[in-house]
Amino acid sequence: MMRMLGRMVGMVAIGIPLTSCYTLQPVRGAAPNPGSQVAVDVNDAGRVALGGSMGPTIAQVEGRLIERDSSHYLIAVSGVQLLQGGEQVWSGERVTLSSDYVTSVYERRFSKSRTVVASGAAIGTLALILAKSLFVSPAPQVEIIPPSDTGHSQRIPRRR
């Protein structure tokens, strides 16, 4: 039991940082490096220009930045946020966005505070589950007593 407990705690301790929390932070100064996860807000001119290929109600495009220069962004798109709040999942299709269509650029960065909170919540939940399972009272023992008169049987005739 203790070995299983150790394994579960170890999996949580390793798993939470691996799936840790990331946030989109506004890019200030230099543009993000190619290969980084980015999101760009699209303006009205961009919605009109990209409406045929990406849909007329896109608000934000998220994905991996492949290339960036002064006039465009080349992004392997992983998702599109819509103006009405919906989301479309993409599978890395490459889209070129003109810099004129972009109002804001964000970079996906590791968030220490969110990871600490998520780890604490996960470990607390695991501790609660384990505490309940360790301190559950055992099922009562029931003694089965065989009948004392096992040699006789009684037959009851059926009516036809």
Both tokens assigned to 95: 């889209």
pLDDT digits (tens, 9 = 90+) for 26-67: 888 777 889 999 999 999 999 999 988 888 899 999 999 999
The Cβ of residue 97 has, within 10 Å, a number of other Cβ atoms equal to: 19
Q: How many angstroms separate the CA atoms of 129 and 4, rounded?
A: 13
pLDDT digits (tens, 9 = 90+) for 112-151: 666 677 767 777 777 777 777 666 666 667 777 666 665 6
Both tokens assigned to 115: 């990871």
CATH code for the domain defined by 22-110: 2.30.30
| Residue written as token pair 């009851």 | 156
Sign of the alpha-carbon dihedral angle for 49, 54, 58, 61: negative
Q: How many angstroms separate the CA atoms of 85 and 105, rounded?
A: 19
Both tokens assigned to 103: 């109002």
Residue type, 25: Q
Global pTM reads: 0.59
